[in-house]
Structure 1
Amino acid sequence: MASYLPFDWQGVGAALAFVTSVSSLAVDTFFGKGKKKKKPLAGPPGYPLIGNLPSLGANPHLQLTEWRREYGDIYRIRMGLQDAVILNGYDVIREALLKKADRLSDRPYMYVLHELSCGGKGIGFAGYNDEYKNRRRAMVSILRRFGMGKGFMEGKIHEEVLELRKNFAEQAASGEAFDPSRLLGCSVLNVICSMILGARFEQDDPLFHRLVALMDRTVAAMGPSQILNVFPWLRFLPGLGQTGSDVFRCAEEIRDFLSGVIRKQRSQLNNNDDVSDDVSFVRSLEAALQEDDQVTMIMQDLFIGGAETTTTTLRWALLYLALHPEVQENMQIELDREVGRERRPSLTDKPRLPYTEASILEIQRVRTIAPLSIPHAASQDVELRGHHIPAGTQVLVNLWSVHMDPAHWPDPERFDPSRFLNEQGKVVRPEQFLPFSIGTYI
């Protein structure tokens, strides 16, 4: 998943922030007089008005994990004029997202994410309420009905694997180095299309090329646009607002594409009176939610979130297997022994492929795809291990600090699939393994 977090400072100067923000600071100071305030959480010192933003850089999880050594598992940073609480380490994250989930499962208001989700519709950036729960319950149920986690999708995946292998062979035949990202992205996106839209696209289809390009541009524009989550007023300044506009424009085109698919499927199905709601993912979702914009937003979340995270995982897998040929060789030996080369691997083979599964788990650990997950917010005042977190405070869950904790993973930067194997060679999943966070609202 992309890092949907407001950390890219992009060179915006403190002087620029001062001109517009000083009035807000004055108002906050004036109206705060006479109010008894609780002692704030400790945290790194920041700059006036812009806080700790310049210190975070392009990979904020690294700096946040470094600050853990000095300030502990729970501390605060300043994001412009707002506080954000950082949660580090397995024990604290587990307590927050399981035991305190009823108070720490909301989403903060963030301008870019609010606009991208059309006001919190869909799944990824919606507030934690009954409407969200109904949407999520319907989506998960329908996804399972249409093949998620079932053997039904194996044929679709195998089809894309064969296509990917052919494309890799064609690229390799030139003798030149090539970037596999686009080919991986196309294959992953086609699997999602097969399940959600009921059809795949040929790689030379111009409509498919346009969709892939839009997905890539949306993800690429997310990083630079995050400064607008901290200072939304920057969108009115020439040049700076363009980053947010790029995200919104691409997302709107993706929604237009999906809306067109919905209209086409609806028209085709309405011409057949005998068709049930179970005939397509779109029809089932429409029947469950009965609101077109929610259906479109959920499909957008599945396309952007599902395709980007899976593609990134595969890219890391290719890199680590290339860097560790001994792991690649051990996986091939296991596959040859348990599956052979006369047929393709199946989900039913999984229990007999522990080393292969352990290698996949280690890839997910060593390079956590969404190291800071998606931002949470306190829906009400909450006490966490003696620390007071006021209602409305943004809360960032540092999953990187869990997967890189030497207390649980000796020499954590070392790539070692045996971490997930016991003495009998069986797969074990330590509770500190949180590639997709923890709790009911990640």
Structure 2
Amino acid sequence: MGFWSLFEVASMPILQVLLICILGAFLATEYLNLLPMDARKSLNKIVFMVFTPSLVFASLSKTVTLQDIISWWFMPVNIALTFLFGGILGWVVVKILKPKPHLEGLIIATCSSGNLGNLLLIIVPAICNEDGTPFGERNICSSVGLSYASFSMAIGGFFIWTYTYQLIRTSSMKFKALQATEEVSKVPNNDFNSDGQTRLLKEEDPEQVAISVSSIKSVDDTENEVIVAQESASRLEKRNVSFWNKLIGFLQQIQEELLAPPTLAAILGLVFGAISWLKNLMVGDNAPLRVIQDSIQLLGDGTIPCITLILGGNLTQGLRSSKVKLSIITGVLFVRYVLLPVIGIGVVKASANLGFLPSDPLYHFVLLVQFTLPPAMNIGTMTQLFDVGQEECSVLFLWTYVVAAVALTVWSTVYMWILS
């Protein structure tokens, strides 16, 4: 494949995303008002609860087998490394640039969580269908590539709806705490001490003033003793929290995150794909329950356009009022499109030399691209769910997806040159 042919293949999926984003932004304007904030929130909940789980389950149950899961064991490790290195680099960006506390999780998430499903489902088959592709016969390449992309989406979804989900939820808690602090600071100071003494200063009887001031001090001393006692009791209570209570709380938190609909759908999809008799019940022209699979697939097809329309609608608000520093945008772009791809080349080359990877060059290519993708669009879904950093997320997405059109093309060329 020539450079310009590769440029066309790699840029088309990104251009599609940008065009649908523009449509979503237009629908959200006051001129049409078809996608206002309330509508985006409602649609976002449907995407989270219905569309995304359907897409994940339908793709995995149809294309992944037990043998595939065993032979592709390094892909979960590779994806985990993308999150690990991206999270570390995002943490470094946060420490250097010092953004607002409620944006720290968003910045780390955009640095670590790539679009491991939606874009791969479009890019890999498109590359396979091009003339002169280095990945073998067109039909076989497209089928195998779709399986790679589906498996990547499932594993990526697991990390996104656990690790990234926790980051955004923590940011939401920080944001609510900040709002509560600001509200408290706006409340006028009605402290009994100051008001009481002000009123007493106006008294004409000096003896009455002295008695009143003495009583106020006595009340203050009593209150201070109560506060000290309460703080001591609180510290003692914290010390008495047993290890098992902490462990139970931690396990409950993990359970809550694992039961997120997309993660649960990924687990079920892998189970149905790995167990032959379950797969034969739903997948195939002669499957007795194929209508269920077709219905789930139909629902899943709405995931990508809905997420992208929501993203475009959020851009209208973000571009009007967001105050994302240029240094933060530059830091995220540098991590995603310079540092992570270089790290990815080192990881994949080292793993291949150690014999961890199968000989299929398309498999190597998918592993490399996983280090080069723009941020996962599900981050926007999470910011919408928790109502935190939506504007900033929209601006970061705008620039990362615009730059991705060039970055994916350049790095795809480098990857093919390495693999050839």
TM range (shorter): under 0.3
Bigger proportion of residues as helix? 2
The structure that has the greater radius of gyration is 2
TM-score (norm 2): 0.26
Q: Higher RCO, 1 or 2 (CA under 8 Å, sep at least 6)?
A: 2
TM-score (norm 1): 0.25
